Structure 1
Amino acid sequence: MTTPSNSAASSTIEDDVLDAPTAKRSLAPHCQSIGDVLRLIAPRIRPELVDTTGMTRLYHVADQLPAEMAPFWGLELRLGDRAPRADILWEIAQGNGSISALAGDHVMASSSSSSTSVLKRSAFWDDLSNFALDWRDGPQWKPMLGNVWLEVDSASTEGHELKSCLDKPCMFWGPNKQSKGSDRVLLAALPELGHRFFQLDIDSGHLAKFADALPEGATVFQMGVMGARDVVVTRLCLTGLDCEAAIAWLDQIGWPGDLGTVETVWQNYVDPLGEPALNIDLMPDGVGPKLGVELYAKENAFSTQPWESAFSLLQTAGLARPEKISALRDLPFLEHYALPTWSADGPQVIYPALSCNLHHLKLVIVGAEVIEAKAYVGVLRPPFNQSPTQGGEAEGGGGWR
């Protein structure tokens, strides 16, 4: 789930939590792992989207991830696939405590052994934990790096592969939006990151030519390595392009697909919804055949209503199964919890809200054909630092981390 920002969703929840009365609300359930959070929203996930086998696979991964490591995470659903399965992905970002959790600093003493052991499960995770320390405390990464996304292909793994799928997930890096031009700086650092985590040799010259071809106003909001795949590729995700600029840019970089199909997709899906994002793969010999077009709704609401026109088109085109679209409509979920009275002996960081919503759709184009449609579900459990004094990564006490 590559995402330009979850700030709109989180600011909506934060405003609602602070403004609405709390008299009849229950306290937030204690969640040690992402699996515990998944259990809270599982009643909204119909078996047409994720069946019992699929949920077992998700829990296998989610139960090993400490909840404080991923206040924002999501599921990737293939809308045209008959199998009701999902991949899981999660964000580690500046300002919400997740970097310290990844570094191992803030893993609660009461956390389960399965939650804490993820940091020691492989050489990849050991290096990732060390990287989190450099990111949080060192001068190199903080100015350029805003977030990291990790993704596990839990939908297609089973048996021995399921046991090891968390050892080396796919990894994406997002620029620090507070620093102008950070996406170009981070892009130049991608060969270092790709080699460090995946022993992948990314051609710096190839990458520089790509950067030089970027249109004015375009932003590389995510860049990553699909390291868990059979063929390891470098993926770049862009925003800030209109249809004309996107087609000209794809033509310039030599994307081998049909530009007319891109224009049709833009007219049918992008224009009615809002700003898109484009995903391309960089291969050793050029640009890969897949083009991902991510679709975001202009309206930010806990409802699938903004997506209905796209749902209809996808079903007509045979890209989405009707039962999966129907189940998506039941997903939006927002729960508020009571804010406990602060005390020095009580928890300093609390979680006063939980939401589940359709975050975006993605179409995959190969050649002249749209071959696949996916839905990305976002789950947000924003941490609130209720201490009156500054602590951790919070910008002072008494605020959203």
Structure 2
Amino acid sequence: MFERPLSGGEHPVDFFLWLSAKGRRDVLAGTHAGLPAAFLGQESWRRIRDFARGWEDETSPVHDVCSVWLEFDIRGRLAGVPNPLIFFTIEPHVSPRPVLELLQPRSFDSPELATLRRCWEAIPSSCRYRTVGVLYSRPTEALRLILILKPDEAFSYLERIGWPGAPGKLYQRMAPFFRFHSEIALHVDVHPQGVQPQVGMEIYVDEDAMYRGRGGDCGPLLDLTVKESLCTPGLRDALAVWPGTDTVGLSDGSTVRIERMFHHVKVVSQLDLSLQAKAYTTAEYEVSPPWNR
């Protein structure tokens, strides 16, 4: 997945690596030659490896994690080992405690995580998936919560956890975006000193986009970002033609089928209700050897 701000001008494009529990849990565990030794010189990568080893183990308390993704904030040419952000998704019956105690140094029962515990306990039971992010590469002690909720539930939740803004006014500001899908993904950063001012909302074009990564027409959503002065017309037009497929031949006779998809828009709000938007696109590929042609 790729992230691109929708405002005009030159911007970096960040990218994500998503791993499902049904797929390759071993990729981050360091049990094969895929993870360079230099990575393990960083505490963040050692913690990710230790978590991934538990994720592979059916007897481990972290085995029930549904999925993991790494986000890489790219700012120019990398001079060394990239330091990621890591997010993990769990179902309502699963506690974040064992994963968090592997991925960061603070005990789940520590005073520093008291606000996080309070926010976790306030999550509505209707929330099907809960994601927690450890923001290694950013200068903050905050942890991020990402919660899939109906819009009314999301803004009631902000009120309940003591978000320092005005939830009612933000709801009115965001209301035009809620016609596309019955749910949003709410982003809240939780710092030891309290809930942070910035909040984000992922807007999906339909059910398939949210849960399967293969949504319908992204044009109306992108048109709205232009109408709300969050996106330039030129960038909207470029993103609208991103979805599609290509087949590329390789020198060994294999072919690669690439499927490009538009995933969602995230709208980020500050306390003054000023908004910024980012677009998220994906690309999946499948390699067919020559004997399958």
* Range class of TM-score, shorter chain: 0.7 to 0.9
Q: Aligned pair 1:311/2:222, yes or no?
A: yes
Structure 2 equivalent of residue 75 of structure 1? 2
Q: Aligned pair 1:163/2:79, yes or no?
A: yes
Alpha-carbon distance, 1:315 to partner: 1.4
Question: Secondary structure in 1 aligned to 2:229?
Answer: coil
Q: Deviations over 1:349-382 (max 9, x none)?
A: x997532211111000111424210001122236
Instruction: Single out whichever of 300-309 and 248-257 deviates more from structure 2.
Output: 300-309
Give me the whole-angstrom Cα distance separating, in 1, the residues matched to 2:6 and 2:111. 32
Map 1:1-400 to 2 at 5 A: 74-97=1-24, 99-107=25-33, 116=36, 119-120=39-40, 122-137=42-57, 139-154=59-74, 157-158=75-76, 162-164=78-80, 166=82, 168-175=83-90, 177=91, 181-182=93-94, 185-186=95-96, 188-189=97-98, 191-196=100-105, 203-239=112-148, 241-298=149-206, 300=208, 306-335=217-246, 353-381=257-285
Question: Secondary structure in 1 aligned to 2:140?
Answer: coil
Give me the whole-angstrom Cα distance separating, in 2, the residues matched to 1:143 and 1:76. 29
TM-aligned CA distance change 1:122 to 1:248, over 3 Å: closer
Size of the aligned set, in residue pairs, is 278
Maintained 8 Å contact 1:297/1:306: yes
Question: Secondary structure in 2 aligned to 1:171?
Answer: strand
Give me the whole-angstrom Cα distance separating, in 1, the residues matched to 2:119 and 2:98. 14
**5+ unaligned residues in a row in structure 1: which ranges?**
1-73, 109-114, 339-349, 385-401
Question: Secondary structure in 1 aligned to 2:217?
Answer: helix
TM-aligned CA distance change 1:383 to 1:209, over 3 Å: farther
Alpha-carbon distance, 1:194 to partner: 4.3
Give me the whole-angstrom Cα distance separating, in 1, the residues matched to 2:197 and 2:135. 15
Counting aligned pairs with the same residue, the percent is 24
TM-aligned CA distance change 1:194 to 1:130, over 3 Å: closer
Maintained 8 Å contact 1:304/1:329: no
Q: Deviations over 1:29-87 (max 9, x none)?
A: xxxxxxxxxxxxxxxxxxxxxxxxxxxxxxxxxxxxxxxxxxxxx11100014114301
Alpha-carbon distance, 1:142 to partner: 4.5
After TM superposition, the score normalised by the length of structure 1 is 0.61
TM-aligned CA distance change 1:139 to 1:352, over 3 Å: farther
Question: Secondary structure in 1 aligned to 2:66?
Answer: strand
TM-aligned CA distance change 1:248 to 1:311, over 3 Å: same
**5+ unaligned residues in a row in structure 2: which ranges?**
289-293
TM-aligned CA distance change 1:381 to 1:209, over 3 Å: same
The alignment's C-alpha RMSD in Å is 3.2
Maintained 8 Å contact 1:290/1:366: yes
TM-aligned CA distance change 1:243 to 1:361, over 3 Å: same
Maintained 8 Å contact 1:261/1:368: no
Alpha-carbon distance, 1:223 to partner: 0.4
Q: Deviations over 1:128-168 (max 9, x none)?
A: 334322220252244431222111110xx236xx21360x2
Question: Secondary structure in 1 aligned to 2:281?
Answer: strand
Alpha-carbon distance, 1:308 to partner: 2.4
Give me the whole-angstrom Cα distance separating, in 2, the residues matched to 1:211 and 1:124. 24
